[in-house]
Structure 1
Amino acid sequence: MVSFRLLHSHLKVLSDNDLKRTRTDEGFKRAFATLFDQDVKTFTGTMFLNLDQLEKQLDKEEFQEIGSIASFRVFKTHFQKFFNSRFSLDDDDGLMTCNYFLEYTRIEVKQFHDTLIQHIESVKKLIDERALQKREYDSRVNERHIDIKAKKVDMSKALDDSLVITKSSGTEFKKQDTSTRSGNEDADNADIKTVYNKEPMAEVQLTVECNVLDTEHQHIEQPKFNNGGEVD
């Protein structure tokens, strides 16, 4: 804001109160009306109002390019008549105008004119630099937002893929578990069938053994008869 402060200080010489109601003051008013095509009080009042508006734009925490450029254009246009003025010293009126301006402001008209343009160009450069910085900052912020969104999408996709894999693994596990249990049940059924197949053989063998024992018992307990038919 150095360039703005210099501009403000440079313009304050147009409203010096120390020379009021003097011959120089009256001569300066006529000279000012010739150079700026407006009375000094009206011109300086509007000038400082526009300057305040420009300062408010430049002092904002968040720079607004459109508002700053608009305020700058209004301020610069206010001096258009003075920028187009010719400072001729060839006639008495031109010489008197320049002399009264010098006596009041202590600056020659040509020097004031050139210095004012330099300060205005410096302020315009300040606005352009801040506008560029703001665009670069906004671009970086937008890039970060895009990166964050892209990362969120990737994470969401990764989570979805993980859920699909987990569900697939659970299905495979159920299939394997069902297959294992089916195999075990088949094996158990096979064992049961084997036992059932073996039991009839055991019953036949047991029946045969019982028959043999009965036969042997009958032979043992069969009574003996003598020749007379009596039991011994």
Structure 2
Amino acid sequence: MQQIQDKAKKSCMVSFRQLHSHLKLLSNNDLKGTRTESGFNRSFATLFGQDLETFTGTMFLNVDQLEKKLDNKEFQEIGSMASFKVLETQFQMFIKSRIYLDDEYVVMTRNYFLQYTQLAIPEFRDTLIQHMESVKKSIDERAQHTREYDSWVNERQMQTTEEKDDLSTTLDASLVDTESSETESKEQDTRSRSGNDAHADDADLRPIYNEEPMAEVQLSVDNNVFATGQQHTEQPEFNNE
């Protein structure tokens, strides 16, 4: 898309330079102070309705303004077309004029115009119109490419934003699953430790007498009783003598 943009700009500037070169024919410095220039000045006033110096001075200002708009990296359709319209309007009187009469004055006008610009009036006008249309067309094409480029950039940005949102959602879901697993694991560990502690408490609370069998206690008592009876039986007999 960027290459298309660059190509459109290049084409636009080519059209502009062709127009600029054609307009320079109205300012021939090589004929300054000559009779041809003087005759051309009179012919020019007839064709353009203004003196040569004033008209060309304004013309080149308009041309420079148009060039700045077209050569700008950030193309602006409205500004470029506005500058073009200003320049186009300046030539409307000449474009619409018709110098086809055969009287002597018209013939002199044609001759001086041809000598000064090296082009006949109809040829100069037709070529001017051609270059004007070419510049206008290139502006329209560049504007169309610019809109397509902007639309493409916006679409790519939206796709990038959606991809980031999807990735963020996936990461959030993964984080929730991880936290849930960790929580469940902690709960299981807690329940396990609680169960072990309960068993330990039961062992601590077991009665002490359960640790010594009753049979052993009874046997000990019987032995003591038996020993006592035996002691009474084995007492020595006294001699009455």
TM-score over 0.5 for the pair: yes
Q: For residues 54-203 of structure 1, what are the structure 2 equivalents within 5 Å?
A: 54-191=66-203, 196=207, 199-200=209-210, 202-203=212-213
Per-residue deviation, 1:208: 0.6
1:134-181 residue CA offsets vs partner (Å, 9 max, x unmatched):
222222222222222223322332333233223322321232122222
1:118-137 residue CA offsets vs partner (Å, 9 max, x unmatched):
11111112212222222222
In structure 1, the residue matched to 2:39 is: 27
Q: For residues 37-48 of structure 1, what are the structure 2 equivalents within 5 Å?
A: 37-48=49-60
In structure 2, the residue matched to 1:212 is: 222
In structure 1, the residue matched to 2:9 is: none
In structure 2, the residue matched to 1:221 is: 231
- Range with greater deviation from structure 2 (129-138 or 181-190): 181-190
Structure 1, unmatched stretches of 5+, are: none
Q: 1:171 to 1:230 in 2, by over 3 A?
A: farther
Provide the TM-score with structure 2 as the length reference. 0.83
Confirm whether residue 51 of structure 1 aligns to residue 76 of structure 2. no
Per-residue deviation, 1:44: 0.6
Q: What secondary structure does 1:18 align onto?
A: helix
Q: What secondary structure does 2:212 align onto?
A: helix
Per-residue deviation, 1:116: 0.6
Higher relative contact order (CA 8 A, sep 6+): 2
CA distance in 2, matches of 1:218, 1:230: 24
Per-residue deviation, 1:53: 0.8
1:78-108 residue CA offsets vs partner (Å, 9 max, x unmatched):
1011111012133333222212211211100
1:40-62 residue CA offsets vs partner (Å, 9 max, x unmatched):
11111111110011111111122
Q: What secondary structure does 2:185 align onto?
A: helix
AA in 2 matched with 1:3: S
CA distance in 1, matches of 2:239, 2:167: 112
Provide the TM-score with structure 1 as the length reference. 0.86
Q: What secondary structure does 1:216 align onto?
A: helix
1:1-38 residue CA offsets vs partner (Å, 9 max, x unmatched):
22222111111111112323333222211111111111
Percent of aligned pairs sharing the same letter: 53
CA distance in 1, matches of 2:210, 2:169: 65
- CA RMSD in angstroms comes to 2.3
- Range with greater deviation from structure 2 (52-61 or 150-159): 150-159
Figure out how many residues of one structure are paired with residues of the other and give that number.
Answer: 227
Q: 1:155 to 1:230 in 2, by over 3 A?
A: farther
